[in-house]
Amino acid sequence: MLGRRYKVAYIFLLPTLVYLLGFQVYPLFENIRLSFTDLSLLGGQKPQFIGWQNYRHFLLKDEKFWLIFRNTLLWVFGSVLWQFALGIPSALVLNQKFRTRGLWRGLILVPWVMPVVVVSIIWKWIFDGQWGILNFALREFHLISRNVIWLGNPRMVWFCLLLASAWKGFPYVAIMMLAGLQSIEKEVYEAARVDGAVGFALFRYITLPLLQPAIFVSGLVAIVTTWTKFELIWSLTEGGPGNATSTLATYIYSNSFVFYDMGRGASLAVLSTVVVLFISLFYVRTIHRSNV
Amino acid sequence: MKKTLWFVTLLLVLVLVSIVWAEEKITIRFVYCGTSEPEKAWSAEYKKDLEKRYPHISIEYIYIPWAEQEKKIAIMTQAGDYPDLIQVQDVTTLSAMGVLEPLDTYIDNPSSRVKRADFYPAAFDYSIINGVLYSIPAHMTVYGLIVNKEMLAQAGFDLEDLKTWDDLLKIAEKVTHDEVYAYGYAAGLPRFAWRDAMIAGYSNGVLIADTSPESRGRYIEVLKWYEKLRPYIPPAAVTWSYPDMFRAFCQEQVAMIAAGSFFTANVYAIDPGIVPKSRAIVYPKGPSAERSSAMVANAGWAILRGSKAKDVAWFVIEDLSERDNLAKEAAVVGLPARKDITIDEFAELAGVYYPDIKDANRQLIEDWLSIAANYGVPQAKILRQSEMEVKFQEKMYELLTGTLDAEGFYEKIMADIEEIRKK
């Protein structure tokens, strides 16, 4: 009887299993296999097994790799921090009672649901060094006398990219935090007030600790999605000027689909996966330890 | 009973005929890269016309923009999905991928309706890699310097004053004031940063992929040329792509740009009024060249190696290359690759797409054809060019922002190109 029940369960699971095997597991192992070959679509020869050569190339020879790796960390952690810096205050505001709260809760999602390419075009127009709205506004207020080349200046470009990324991603954090805030019982605040906690102390000792589960989950999701987020940078700067804003995601794309070096692209993808896996594990263990 | 038998027999015959007819109708999957409205209109019109003339052939377009073409084809062919016909420009990468069918046996067949001699030699040569023909040109692209003659006149010059790099610098000095600059450069994207330098390189007798020690002097002259031009290029140009450069030209924020005969098609949507103010000339001569050269490329048609209907695909190429069909297609974006189409005839056809600037566009067509005839050389085909472009743009950015000098640029780019070539 039990066996039959399991059989039905397995039948229902089968489509998902087939999908996962076909579209997740197989490509993953095929990618690992390719990373040990010199497959190039321009070579005209059959790919040869070359061992760790591709990995050695990036880790030891390629002078750009470590710059790009550092860029990736800046991109991911900078974006996530900004998203939280905007998301938590927004959630606190939206958790208050005011007349048009429902409307604002809906409106805040606009950047998040907008297609990335549209967001990129909007920000490109804002930051454009020749015709950009930001330069126009700054000049109108006599804050600058000559246009600033926001996306062409290695010092400014990261500020612009992180701002665009934070704008796109903060609604997700805000909504998650809002859900977390709504799950905190009012009695906890009342008890804290009785104990003399007011203002920032309430936030520091009640809200923030009780939000931790929501921060943990949304933080992990934000790290992983930003790690692989590629379209925003590609549309705004294509990784330039030079390689100043290249990240591992754009570098994988360039190696695989601009230079057609599939072997090298695959090895970069493996390296990227390993690093993000390591960061996620470290993150999970740290949070877990702090909860214990 | 007899009537029923007759009816059944007739029905059977009809079914058989329709099966045979249906089997004979061949669908050609055609990758077309023109995504502007006039190009799409032309493609739809051509499909309708061809299917009317040859009812057994049907065209199914796959629209892929130029920027995506190689990537999409690489993925499709790796997955065993081969379209039949493809619109191509530079065939170097696709031929290195082994996805293009050599066309020599088709064109050299005595019954071929396409003849090598029909085309401008410089344009035709661009379709040949290592002696193998991979595409049949449809329209020709000629590169040169596009000048806003009114801005030049305001500074006290005319086109005749623009023969050498030194002349250009003298004019640049006068033209540049406040936030108006002399020279527009789309240095923000590798492809265009490289192309501009290719055009300048040809004017000084050097190919910027050339790593030979003999070319060192000429190469460094080209890099120093950009150093000298730096004060006359808008600072924002380090982030520009072609649309930005064309917009700046249309708004008269720059007076000169190095571009190609696709100029009209690109600026028409922004401001047609710029065309009557514009003239195309050969890029002024560099110090080491006896005379300037203008690179000539083409866009045309190729057959995918894995196509199951190669003969029909070739038949369609022959049809596309017929004088009238080719002229109509070329009139949308460029210049005809065939020699037997007169300027009058071509300008008239182009006037259909650019009615309000018909005469001005005719002048530009004359300019481009004259550049091609007097200075045209086939554009070099460089394997792994897109990888070189990235390295080149990276250094050009440093040069234009004053953090790298010409000698330093040269040493670095030579090492990069050599390394890319070793692959």
Query: What is the SS3 assignment for B60?
Result: strand
B34 confidence band (pLDDT: 50, 70, 90): confident
Query: What is the SS3 assignment for B318?
Result: helix
> Rounded to the nearest 10 degrees, what angle do helices B310-320 and B37-53 cross at?
110
How distant, in Å, are the alpha carbons of A59, B55, B165, B221, B258 from that of B200?
37, 49, 9, 10, 8
For residue B394, list chain A residues with Cβ-Cβ distance below 8 A: 240-243
Q: Which residue of A has its CA nearest to B178?
A: A146
In angstroms, the CA B5 to CA A275 distance is 77
Which single residue is written with the structure tokens 């061949």?
Answer: B26
Check CB contact of A57 with chain B, cutoff 8 Å: no
Query: What is the SS3 assignment for B86?
Result: strand
Check CB contact of B177 with chain A, cutoff 8 Å: no
Q: What's the gap between Cα B269 and its chain centre?
A: 18
Given a cut of 70, whether residue B286 has pLDDT beyond it is: yes
What's the average model confidence in pLDDT over A131-140? 95
> Is A56 in contact with A264 (CB distance < 8 Å)?
no
Q: Which two tokens stand for residue A148?
A: 């600033």
Nearest to B234 among A41, A130, A258 (CB): A130
For residue B96, list chain A residues with Cβ-Cβ distance below 8 A: 41-42, 44
Please give, rounded to a whole number of angstroms, the shortest distance from the CA of B153 to a CA of chain A.
25
Q: What is the DSSP letter of A23?
A: I
The partner residues of B141 in beta bridges, in order of sequence, read B297
CB contact under 8 A, A41 and B97: yes
Q: Which residue of B has its CA nearest to A234?
A: B189
For residue A40, list chain B residues with Cβ-Cβ distance below 8 A: 423
> What pLDDT score does A2 carry?
57
Given a cut of 70, whether residue B85 has pLDDT beyond it is: yes
* pLDDT tens for each residue of B120-154: 998 899 999 999 999 999 999 999 999 999 999 99
> What pLDDT score does B218 carry?
97
Check CB contact of B234 with chain A, cutoff 8 Å: yes
> What pLDDT score does B16 carry?
63
In angstroms, the CA B225 to CA B291 distance is 17
CB contact under 8 A, B390 and A254: yes
Q: Count CB-CB contacts under 10 A for residue B171.
A: 25
Given a cut of 90, whether residue B12 has pLDDT beyond it is: no
In angstroms, the CA A161 to CA A230 distance is 12
Alpha helices, DSSP H, located in A52-184: 53-56, 63-94, 101-107, 110-113, 116-127, 133-140, 154-182
Please give, rounded to a whole number of angstroms, the shortest distance from the CA of A269 to a CA of chain B.
18
Pairing of strands B136-148, B57-63: unpaired
Q: What is the DSSP letter of B277?
A: G
Q: What is the DSSP letter of A59?
A: I
In angstroms, the CA B160 to CA B165 distance is 13
What's the average model confidence in pLDDT over B391-398? 94
In angstroms, the CA B201 to CA B196 distance is 8
B23 confidence band (pLDDT: 50, 70, 90): low
Q: State the Rg of chain A over Cα.
A: 24
Check CB contact of A53 with chain B, cutoff 8 Å: no
The percentage of residues in chain A with a pLDDT greater than 70, rounded to a whole number, is: 98
In angstroms, the CA B391 to CA A130 distance is 25
Give me the residues of A, 67-96, that contact B with CB < 8 A: none
Which string of DSSP letters, residue by residue, matches B217-236? HHHHHHHHHHHHHGGGS-GG
> Is B28 in contact with B59 (CB distance < 8 Å)?
yes
> What pLDDT score does B35 carry?
77
Query: If we measure between CA atoms, which residue out of A278, A281, A275, A273 comes closest to residue A27?
Result: A273
**3-state helix vs strand vs coil in chain B, percent to 5:** 55, 15, 25
For residue A253, list chain B residues with Cβ-Cβ distance below 8 A: none
Query: What is the SS3 assignment for B298?
Result: strand
* pLDDT tens for each residue of A75-99: 999 999 999 999 999 999 999 988 8
| Domains of chain B from N-terminus onward | 27-141+297-374 (3.40.190.10), 143-295+375-422 (3.40.190.10)
In angstroms, the CA A92 to CA A178 distance is 7
Q: Count CB-CB contacts under 10 A for residue A235.
A: 17
User: For chain A, give me the number of helices (H) and strands (E)?
Assistant: 15, 0
Given a cut of 60, whether residue A1 has pLDDT beyond it is: no
Which string of DSSP letters, residue by residue, matches A163-190? HHHHHHHHHHHHHHHHHHHHTS-HHHHH
Please give, rounded to a whole number of angstroms, the shortest distance from the CA of B315 to a CA of chain A.
29
As a whole number, the mean pLDDT across chain B is 93
* pLDDT tens for each residue of B264-275: 989 998 999 999
* pLDDT tens for each residue of B218-234: 999 999 999 999 999 99
For residue A44, list chain B residues with Cβ-Cβ distance below 8 A: 96-98
> What pLDDT score does B19 carry?
55
For residue B234, list chain A residues with Cβ-Cβ distance below 8 A: 130
Q: How many CA atoms lie within 13 A of B369 on its CB side?
A: 21
Check CB contact of B211 with chain A, cutoff 8 Å: no
Query: What is the SS3 assignment for A88?
Result: helix
| The pTM of the whole model exceeds 0.90 | no
In angstroms, the CA A76 to CA A78 distance is 6
> What pLDDT score does B1 carry?
60
Nearest to B188 among A43, A147, A240 (CB): A240
* Sign, Cα dihedral of A252, A253, A259, A261: positive
* pLDDT tens for each residue of A14-72: 999 999 999 999 999 999 999 999 999 987 778 999 999 999 999 999 989 999 999 99
* pLDDT tens for each residue of A224-273: 989 988 889 988 988 887 788 999 999 999 999 999 999 999 999 999 99
A18 class by beta-carbon count within 10 Å (0-12 exposed, 13-18 middle, 19+ buried): exposed
CB contact under 8 A, A147 and B247: no
> Is B351 in contact with B361 (CB distance < 8 Å)?
yes
For residue B235, list chain A residues with Cβ-Cβ distance below 8 A: 129, 147, 149, 152
In angstroms, the CA A227 to CA A79 distance is 10
> What pLDDT score does B20 carry?
52
* pLDDT tens for each residue of B320-340: 999 999 999 999 888 999 999
Given a cut of 80, whether residue A4 has pLDDT beyond it is: no
Q: Which two tokens stand for residue A86?
A: 């905007």
* pLDDT tens for each residue of B288-312: 999 999 999 999 999 999 999 999 9
Given a cut of 90, whether residue B422 has pLDDT beyond it is: no
Query: If we measure between CA atoms, which residue out of B69, B117, B32, B22 comes closest to residue B320?
Result: B32
Given a cut of 80, whether residue B190 has pLDDT beyond it is: yes
Query: What is the SS3 assignment for B129?
Result: strand
The partner residues of B338 in beta bridges, in order of sequence, read B119
As a whole number, the mean pLDDT across chain A is 91
Check CB contact of A44 with chain B, cutoff 8 Å: yes
| Domains of chain A from N-terminus onward | 66-114+159-291 (1.10.3720.10)
A5 confidence band (pLDDT: 50, 70, 90): confident
Check CB contact of B74 with chain A, cutoff 8 Å: yes
Given a cut of 60, whether residue B95 has pLDDT beyond it is: yes
A22 class by beta-carbon count within 10 Å (0-12 exposed, 13-18 middle, 19+ buried): exposed
Q: Which two tokens stand for residue A30?
A: 């095929």
In angstroms, the CA A279 to CA A77 distance is 11
Pairing of strands B376-378, B294-303: parallel
CB contact under 8 A, A259 and B97: no
Q: What is the DSSP letter of B34?
A: -
How distant, in Å, are the alpha carbons of B78, B269, B384 from that of A29?
18, 48, 28
How distant, in Å, are the alpha carbons of A271, B330, B343, B344, B414 from that of B366?
55, 15, 7, 10, 38
Nearest to A149 among B71, B238, B386 (CB): B238
Bond into A241 cis (ω within 30): yes
Nearest to B238 among A241, A260, A261 (CB): A241
In angstroms, the CA B119 to CA B114 distance is 10
Sorted by sequence, the CB contacts under 8 Å of residue B14 that are 6+ apart come out as none
The partner residues of B184 in beta bridges, in order of sequence, read B257
In angstroms, the CA A171 to CA A110 distance is 8
How distant, in Å, are the alpha carbons of A130, A253, B92, B274 from that of A241?
16, 17, 27, 30
Q: What is the DSSP letter of B114?
A: -
A81 class by beta-carbon count within 10 Å (0-12 exposed, 13-18 middle, 19+ buried): middle
Q: What's the gap between Cα A42 and its chain centre?
A: 32
